[in-house]
Amino acid sequence: MMYRIMVVDDESHVTEWISHLLDDAYSSELDLYRFNDATQALRQLLTGIYDIAVLDISMPEVTGIDILDALESQKIETQVIFLTAYSEFEYAKRAISPQVVTYILKGEPDSVMVEAVGQAIRRIQEKVENDNLVKIAKSRIRASSTNIRREYVVHLLQGAIGSEPTGTAVSLLISPEKPILLLQCALNISGDQSSSPELLLEIGSHIEDYLSRFFVFEGAMLQNNSFVWLLQPQNGDYQTAYSELLAVIENAEMLFNRHTGHDLLFVYSSHPAAFDDIGRTYRQMLPLYRYGYNKGHIVLTDEDLPDVLAEEATSESEYRQLGRDIQILQNLIENGERAESMALLDMLLESFDRRPVSSDPLILEAFCQLSGMVLAILNKTGLYQAASNERSLVWLGNPYSFATWDEAATAFRQMTDYMLNKNARKRDSRSQTCIDKAKDYIIQNLDQDLSLLMLAEKVFLNPSYLSILFKKKVGCNVSDYIKAERLKKAKQLLSETKLKINEIARQVGYPNATYFGKFIKLETGLTPLEYRDRHTQREISL
């Protein structure tokens, strides 16, 4: 599990010292951020998730105690470690709060800071365990007390405007006169865990905690184990609402992934909808749940659907339903959702019996539509030539080449499996390209203050997703890779050049030569000069 930690001090050498110290001690456990501007740090703390904050208690303009007060007023439970000078120690101890882990005098041994962070981590772990049951209980109470309003939300999603469920009088928290932002959330996991009521309630509770910072909302948990929220910004500003919504989404996804190892899928409307247009907006967004991630992202908008489905037809005939299902199946296959693709394909194929393909106009229609779907995917993904070289595709244009529907069904299953495998390799290649770009950027910019957020912006990925993908592809987290590359370049410059130690330190991202020296000593057991002398002598002897 990784923990987000923020180090805040108006003196840059202090934040550098603490960052490098903690990176060495907890490299695989901490996602480190450092700030020399307390105002900017406070803004980040109020809108993001930070587990631990190391704060200088007496900074200009905004002090560490000011930040603690702001966190408490917003009920943000970040664990705080105060840094203080000896003359301020008694003043610091007046900041009594259960969120304060300890007070550290500047100049104390490094081990004191390392132990303080370890203590904060243990507190967080204990609190997570204790809070889980409380969260579930609160969610159950909330679900019970707002059941009527949630029922009305479902009523609105179904398109029933201007009427209420029979026998109810609904007092909504949102205003029917103001536009609505629609947010949907589903678990992107499989197995029994996806249907766990306790897990679902806990997720909903956490997300609503975040939403309540910025929005007035009504929401409901639907029968398909997804959530829908109708949102209105508390300040009435719809222009800034989307940045606040994305902050909520990122924080919730990061928290869920950290504690479960799984992801959530979020879909939100790209434009505010009128109150009486909620049902139509919801229906247009609904197909996105059928194929999960779009090109590896965990956040989708209704603009991500390449061809928005036409408004639902009034007729629910089998013919029209078949067309809609095949369109959904195409989206699923193109987006690599193997389990859902095969499940929907099986449902379509098994809806027909074992009659000859030519015996029923609807079976012929199904065959032709499925064939058209296959050809469309092959053309769109550029796989047609490769597929035709590997297997005969003549049957796609000849339904009469199969004696029974079962034979045709087998051919479609095999073709779908082929396309999913090929597309998976292409998506994997795209992911690898992003990781290669991130690695190249790190290597070319070792002298810069590198961070996960910066890298995510460079490769156009969500920071949480980049962190997960990087670990999967490279085998280590981003901070470990950065440290390894800095060490590699430092060794090269020490042994192959006559550059001064402070210049080498600067080139590998250590503005302070003292911290660079500690880094080299920790990694090699030698000081920079000792390393240079030993390896220069070795090269001369060779």
Same domain, 70 and 30: yes
* Structural domain contains residue 420: no
Q: Which residue has the tokens 């989307």?
A: 242
Residue 344 lies in a domain: no
Share of the chain above pLDDT 90, in %: 20
**Residue 136 in this model has a pLDDT that exceeds 50:** no
- The pLDDT, as a whole number, for residue 245 is 86
Residue 108 and residue 195 share a domain: no
Pair (51, 126) in one structural domain: yes
Same domain, 173 and 110: no
Same domain, 82 and 178: no
Residue 180 lies in a domain: yes
Final residue before a domain boundary, out of 283, 311, 339: 311
pLDDT for 515 beyond 80: yes
Q: What does pLDDT average to over the chain?
A: 79
Mark whether 156 and 296 lie in a shared domain: yes
pLDDT digits (tens, 9 = 90+) for 70-85: 888 888 889 999 988 7
Query: What is the tally of structural domains in the chain?
Result: 2
Same-domain check for residues 110 and 51: yes
Please check whether residue 321 is in contact with residue 315, taking contact to mean a CB–CB distance below 8 angstroms: no
Please tell me whether residues 252 and 116 are part of one structural domain: no
pLDDT digits (tens, 9 = 90+) for 156-186: 887 654 444 444 445 678 888 899 999 988 7
Position 378 in a domain = no
Give me the CATH number covering residue 76. 3.40.50.2300
Domain boundary pick from 284, 311, 338: 311
Question: What's the domain range around 47?
Answer: 3-130
Q: Are residues 124 and 155 in the same domain?
A: no
pTM for this one? 0.45
Instruction: Give the highest mean pLDDT range of 69-78, 258-267, 348-357, 515-524.
Output: 515-524
| Helix spans in 146-224 (H) | 147-157, 197-211
| 264 shares a domain with 174 | yes
Cα 512 to Cα 528: distance, rounded to the nearest angstrom: 13
CA–CA gap between residue 325 and residue 331 (Å, rounded): 10
CA distance 511 to 449: 10
Shared domain for 152 and 125, answered yes or no, is no
- 312 pLDDT more than 60: no
Query: Per residue in 475-513, pLDDT tens?
Result: 888 988 999 999 999 999 999 999 999 999 999 998 888
The last residue of one of the domains, among 257, 276, 311, is 311
- Domain membership of residue 79 (yes or no) is yes
- 251 in a domain, yes or no? yes
Question: What does the pLDDT read at residue 1?
Answer: 64
| 117 located within any domain | yes
Q: What is the pLDDT of residues 386-417, one digit of tens each?
A: 888 888 888 998 888 888 888 888 999 999 99
% pLDDT > 70, the chain: 76
CATH number reported for the structural domain that contains residue 252 in this entry = 3.30.70.600
Question: Rounded to whole angstroms, how far apart are CA atoms 281 and 267?
Answer: 12
One domain for residues 286 and 225:
yes
119 HSE (CA, 13 A, CB side): 16
Query: Is residue 191 in a domain?
Result: yes
